[in-house]
Structure 1
Amino acid sequence: MKIETVILDWAGTAVDFGCFAPVNVFLTIFEDAGVTVTLEEARKPMGMLKIDHIRTMLEMPRIADEWQRVHGQAFTEENVSALYKQFETKLMESLATYTDPIQHVKATVQQLREAGIRIGSTTGYTDSMMEVVTRHAADKGYQPDFLVTPTQVGDKGRPCPFMIFKNMEALGSKATKQVVKVGDTTSDIMEALNAGVWAVGVIIGSSEMGLSEAEFQALTAEEQQQVIAKTKCIFEETGAHYTIETIAELPALIETINERITRI
């Protein structure tokens, strides 16, 4: 028995180094509502279905207090819906720009396919958002074998396991221990753990690291190692079975996991 399926997240894992497409929009919609949020606050729920992400931000004590102060009352579900509508509009305007495959992704996917491994994918984006992302990513040479969005599982996105199960069903995966989920957020790790599959956090280019490619390259080697170590620690504390610095390390890691499976 060995790994048959790898399920990749999209933004911050396969495309969009640093996962900047949604982050910039979260900052803008809150600012437009008179409530300034920090980059850290905007990134914390990353990987969730986007309406859940907005609700989670509004539930953060500091943001909730600031909303109450600015608007004179606690936030309501109507506020969540209104912010989400703005989010969707603004994101759709800029989404195509953030579809470049991250370094090593195309070559690694090719390598995995040659080893007979199927490539699934999950996301925090909706169907309509992913229509834009998949079209542009495919033009740039990246196309997994299957995609599941939260829209397709009744909006029960991460950390629920259902998108992984739907990938497994479609790709013919017989056992959870033969599936690896790779993602760049704590939501990805929790999704994998809840599904009972191998949870792998990818560090460089991740939303959790939160740096653009230019920002990361501008760091000294020592500073790079510090942010890598910090991100690795967050994934491990969340319960990741493994972390990798880049997706290029994935084929070797799969060999390691295969050896573990034979001993189970």
Structure 2
Amino acid sequence: MTTTSPIQAVIFDWAGTIVDFGSFAPTTIFVEAFRQGFDFDISLEEARVPMGLGKWDHIKQVGLLESVNTRWTKQFGRPMNNDDIDTIYAAFMPLQKAKVADHAAPILNAIEVVNNLKAQGIKIGSCSGYPREVMDVLSPVAADYGYKPDAIVATDDLAQGGRPAPYMALKNVIDLEVTDVKTCIKVDDSAPGIFEGHNAGMWTVGLLLSGNEAGLTLEEFQNADETTLEMARTQATEKFSASAPHYLVDTINDLPKVVADIERRIQAGERP
């Protein structure tokens, strides 16, 4: 294929970015896993706070939230420990594997956007906070919908760990045989995924309305008036602020205009 773009690769997150509008598959399962493991309730909002991390680390960070730690200590007489995290993770995994395929539908024109990138000779990478055994369930179902990235990296594929470190993004670089990280774009709906892109030396694009930070269902997004959407954008922008994405857009449907601008900037000699 003839490459027509100075961009070599775009590396996408999965839930909330390409599939699963609102990133509900992992968050609802976290709530259920805490309940199943210890008869302990967390809110969907609490489950969302560390989104983007590997799932064991995600559970740990939920346990460290002040609100959760206070209730946990009151209920069990001590803070959450690693054995507790292991128990919750053990409950999480079969629940997630059973439910993840139900949330594999692509987000708003995602397949068209990805296929247009491929038509320009741009390689498609992907990485996720999901472990490999979940990705092995999700990726074939996503492929049936038409999403077939050139590389898939799961959070436990690498001994060094997942986000916000750059290792998953850089494993995509190696697998895709990309020669220059400055020609790569990392697209994600969570702050840890944006930090991952920065740490890998890539351009970064945060998605405001399709993913974890806004937490809207597809129906809520489609039925919302502009005032409601602007409130959601403001909320999500604040959550992204520390990670400072190069670009913020509503959904993957808005990515082509960002790609065009990054192409212009690369051709002008700019770096991420």
- The TM-score bracket by the shorter chain reads over 0.9
Name the structure 2 match of 1:255.
260
CA contact (8 A) 1:104 1:246 kept: no
Take 2:106 and 2:76, find their aligned partners in 1: how far apart are those partners? 41
Using the TM superposition, give the Cα deviation of residue 218 of structure 1 relative to its aligned residue in structure 2, in angstroms: 2.8
Which deviates more from structure 2 when the two are superposed, residues 172-181 or residues 243-252?
Answer: 243-252
Matched, 1:119 2:124: yes
Matches within 5 A, 1:23-62: 23-32=27-36, 33-62=38-67
Matches within 5 A, 1:32-181: 32=36, 33-154=38-159, 156-181=161-186
Using the TM superposition, give the Cα deviation of residue 87 of structure 1 relative to its aligned residue in structure 2, in angstroms: 0.7
Name the structure 2 match of 1:231.
236
CA contact (8 A) 1:177 1:198 kept: yes
Take 2:269 and 2:178, find their aligned partners in 1: how far apart are those partners? 20
Name the structure 2 match of 1:196.
201
Q: TM-score, normalised by structure 1?
A: 0.95
In structure 1, what residue type is equivalent to 2:269? R
Take 1:248 and 1:60, find their aligned partners in 2: how far apart are those partners? 34
Using the TM superposition, give the Cα deviation of residue 109 of structure 1 relative to its aligned residue in structure 2, in angstroms: 0.6
Name the structure 2 match of 1:212.
217
Runs of 4+, deviation exceeding 3 Å: none
Which deviates more from structure 2 when the two are superposed, residues 94-103 or residues 214-223?
Answer: 214-223
Task: Determine helix, strand or coil for the equivalent of 2:96.
Answer: helix
Task: Determine helix, strand or coil for the equivalent of 1:152.
Answer: coil
Root-mean-square deviation (CA), in Å?
1.5
Identity %: 34
Take 1:229 and 1:116, find their aligned partners in 2: how far apart are those partners? 35
2:14 to 2, 10, 25: 10
In structure 2, what residue type is equivalent to 1:207? N
CA contact (8 A) 2:209 2:215 kept: no
Q: TM-score, normalised by structure 2?
A: 0.92
In structure 2, what residue type is equivalent to 1:5? A
Using the TM superposition, give the Cα deviation of residue 4 of structure 1 relative to its aligned residue in structure 2, in angstroms: 0.9
Aligned residues: 264
Using the TM superposition, give the Cα deviation of residue 155 of structure 1 relative to its aligned residue in structure 2, in angstroms: 5.9
Take 1:234 and 1:56, find their aligned partners in 2: how far apart are those partners? 16
Task: Determine helix, strand or coil for the equivalent of 2:156.
Answer: helix
Which deviates more from structure 2 when the two are superposed, residues 49-58 or residues 147-156?
Answer: 147-156
CA contact (8 A) 2:55 2:89 kept: yes
Which deviates more from structure 2 when the two are superposed, residues 227-236 or residues 177-186?
Answer: 227-236
CA contact (8 A) 2:124 2:151 kept: yes
Using the TM superposition, give the Cα deviation of residue 233 of structure 1 relative to its aligned residue in structure 2, in angstroms: 3.9
Q: Unpaired runs of 5+ in structure 1?
A: none
Q: Unpaired runs of 5+ in structure 2?
A: none
Using the TM superposition, give the Cα deviation of residue 17 of structure 1 relative to its aligned residue in structure 2, in angstroms: 0.5
Take 2:95 and 2:154, find their aligned partners in 1: how far apart are those partners? 19
Encode CA deviations 1:94-121: one digit per residue, 9 max, x unaligned: 1110100111110001110111100000
Take 2:132 and 2:33, find their aligned partners in 1: how far apart are those partners? 21
Which deviates more from structure 2 when the two are superposed, residues 129-138 or residues 55-64?
Answer: 55-64
Take 1:149 and 1:177, find their aligned partners in 2: how far apart are those partners? 22
Task: Determine helix, strand or coil for the equivalent of 1:211.
Answer: coil
